[in-house]
Amino acid sequence: MKKKILPLFMVIVFGFIFIVFYKGLEDSNIYTPDTKIKNKIPIFKTKDFYSGVSLNSSDIFKFDKNYLLNIWSSWCVPCRQEHPLLMELSKESKIIIVGMNYKDNKKNAQSFLKELGNPYEMVLVDLDGTIAIDWGAYGVPESYLIYNNKIIKKFIGPLNQQLINEMKLLVK
């Protein structure tokens, strides 16, 4: 009798373990951030990259203007790839591009902008990354199209020509 109970017990235990692991495979732990479309922009305080002057978000984003907040870093390879598109977009007057330098060394960021050009009307500083977290960003580059202090569209990853065209259509 004991010889029959032990194998049955082992089958039940391994069956239970199998079911637990199988259910665990179905449960996705992949983090997908909220796109925060049509949400108000977060209220934050930061400093101007060049002057070091303290700024509030209400000083930066005005009503009835289109803004593109681009979160970037000098160490970010995709940021370098999207930069020529930002330079082209900055020549158009319909969208004001604001850069947020994310967890970066100031000298490296200055060299980045000197080498590739500065498409930003204003560059903000986010040394510890907390402002980007408030925006819902989880990496660089990320961009936010803003109108009337509301996020119209979030772009995760580097911008490409298709996304720029989509942005232009949204701004019209």
Question: For residue 105, what are the β-bridge partners?
Answer: none
At residue 148, the 3 state secondary structure works out as coil
CB-based contact 161:135 (threshold 8 Å): no
Model confidence over 76-91: pLDDT tens digits?
Answer: 999 999 999 999 999 9
**pTM for this predicted structure:** 0.77
* Dihedral (Cα; 168, 170, 151, 93), 10-degree rounding: 40
What pLDDT does residue 24 have? 73
What pLDDT does residue 96 have? 95
Task: Give residue limits of the domains in the chain.
Answer: 45-171
- Domain 45-171 has what CATH class? alpha beta
Report whether pLDDT(48) > 80: yes
Which residue did the predictor score with more confidence, 27 or 164? 164
Distance (Å, whole) CA 111 – CA 67: 24
The count of other CB atoms within 10 Å of the CB of residue 151 is 21
The count of other CB atoms within 10 Å of the CB of residue 112 is 22
